[in-house]
Chain A
């Protein structure tokens, strides 16, 4: 369940940024490249960070709000999507840090990666539906809401709640 919730949150964030930038700035390939490249850079950097996971979740939400609030007030903008790269990288940091935190806590890599990816898929589809039905403000709000269970659950179960260890009578 945890990886699914984290993946959903990250899917909402990444897809929301892509859709908002394509709507307001440009649907050109440069926008896709900025979001994909920025996100991957953030994720790779997050793998090597030792920062508290919850702090990076909060940083991601703040960066998300700053990025979207700069876009939500305008229908169209001539600004380059590259201007949003710092925010995209900041949002992407937790997508790397989450894996190191979960694996460090003893979670099985296959379960963590699979669950996070399924969740990401659900989050991405939800972001698309939110964008076309609810519009720009739905994209602003959705990750703020999804951050609550992410913060509450944390990246992994405390060791004593993960069930009995093998070979323990």
Chain B
């Protein structure tokens, strides 16, 4: 030991002396607590967002519960004994070791028992979100309470700075490592063990924690996949579901699932974005039809991260640009939906990873066809791209005679519903709008332009093979269908919260 100390460089000896001091140990404990809090919070938002479906309301619910858990943790830190705080920390660490399989199995089990989803799932989510913050936030006030009042401000500066740095590192790691779930979990588990070892002066607990962390890391991948499949089998009611791909991006959880009789499906934050059966019809109305009616133009694809529209558009266009915000969706698309190798050979196709509105705002390029293939506006990020202002921006980027094609999430329906409100925005932004309701696709599509180079007859003649019923609305008929619908606007996005709350309540029997 003495030889080891003598062999250390002076800076290493000084650093070791600092860390071994009480203040240094505390700072390190709080940095680790902040790291575990930040990492666990990011993981909880992705996991619970996916289990409850990631509407804006759900994401805010989870974040709010995590924040309330942090507040309760701070409160408990000033009220509990050291022994009780130690037990709280151990419990919190064990919950993190068992995540995400524990939460997934709880949700799948409750759905199996009930035969569907119920309010009890929200209880599971609340407990899991609070567990991500509460145990880690109790440490800061507990340490500060132990200081003499005169020293508290100095101690606070060091302690809270350490916790903030840890929180930033944990949040950053959570976001950056989402594409490698097992590595991400391993970083978290090791930080938890380090926290236990430094915060509690019990060697047995630290050693047991290390053993449990090793077991959790080794079983993370198989247990995680199996528990996720139970969620798809019992919650999504997909017997025999197999999860082929599951990663967390900075925006959402991206999953590819195969199920007998349903084919291959893409899920974004637990919501089915598309399946291979309906993809052909969707692509037909969204890209094939307008590209056929506007041949050899320059096309812009906003969204469509699966890239499934690219081959179709590339065959009929002079140039194609795809703008997608989430590289993880592009990755899943290239692996499972649209083979990447043929795309690489397309010399006139470009992919830009960017927010569609920022891309259009920063570009002076003009296009003959803009295709908007985005999920329903259930988050603010998606809703901005369904607003009247955004459609005006699209119009400014269209060449004369160009067209905008938008997939609506369902039939036009009532004026309060999303498709009618989106169409109301299109009608404000464009002089000419035509809506096609396809029974085969089980949704509507809108085409807009200054002077569309095609009309109802051409669209009817371009119906998808096997189409059961195609209803086309334009002019006064369309105006009548969306009468009373308020356009989505940047300053009027109540729909995002209202629809989110309605869906959350419907799903959970509230």
Contacts and interface: CB of A to CB of B under 8 A. Distances in A.
Nearest to B158: A47
A47 B160 contact: yes
Contacts of A133: 492, 494
Given A100-B156, A110-B141, A113-B140, A44 B72 contact: no
B206 interface: no
Interface stretch (B6-14, B62-70, B219-227, B307-315): B62-70
A36 B489 CA distance: 26
A37 B250 contact: no
Interface residues of B, number: 59
Q: Which of B76, B140, B325, B357 has the most CB of A within 10 A?
A: B357
B361 interface: yes
B54 to A, nearest CB: 14
B496 interface: yes
Q: Which of A19, A99, A106, A129 has the most CB of B within 10 A?
A: A99
Interface stretch (A57-65, A74-82, A144-152): A74-82
B156 A103 contact: yes
B64 A125 contact: yes
A86 interface: no
A135 B492 CA distance: 6
Contact of A48 (B157, B392, B492): B157
A47 B156 contact: yes
Interface string A91-129: 000001001100110101111011101101100110011
Nearest to A133: B494
A56 interface: no
Contact of A132 (B361, B363, B380, B390): B380
A29 B492 CA distance: 23
Interface string A5-45: 00000000000000100110111110011001100100110
Contacts of A68: none
A113 B389 contact: no
Interface string B184-196: 0000000000000
B171 A36 contact: yes
Interface residues of A, number: 49
Contact of B165 (A29, A44, A136): A44
Nearest to A125: B64
Nearest to A7: B71
Contact of B149 (A106, A115, A124, A136): A106
B133 to A, nearest CB: 9
B337 interface: no
A44 B164 contact: yes
Contacts of B463: none
B67 A117 contact: yes
Given A40-B164, A110-B78, A129-B497, A76 B68 contact: no
Interface of A: 19, 22-23, 25-29, 32-33, 36-37, 40, 43-44, 47-48, 75-78, 96, 99-100, 103-104, 106, 108-111, 113-115, 117-118, 120-121, 124-125, 128-129, 131-137
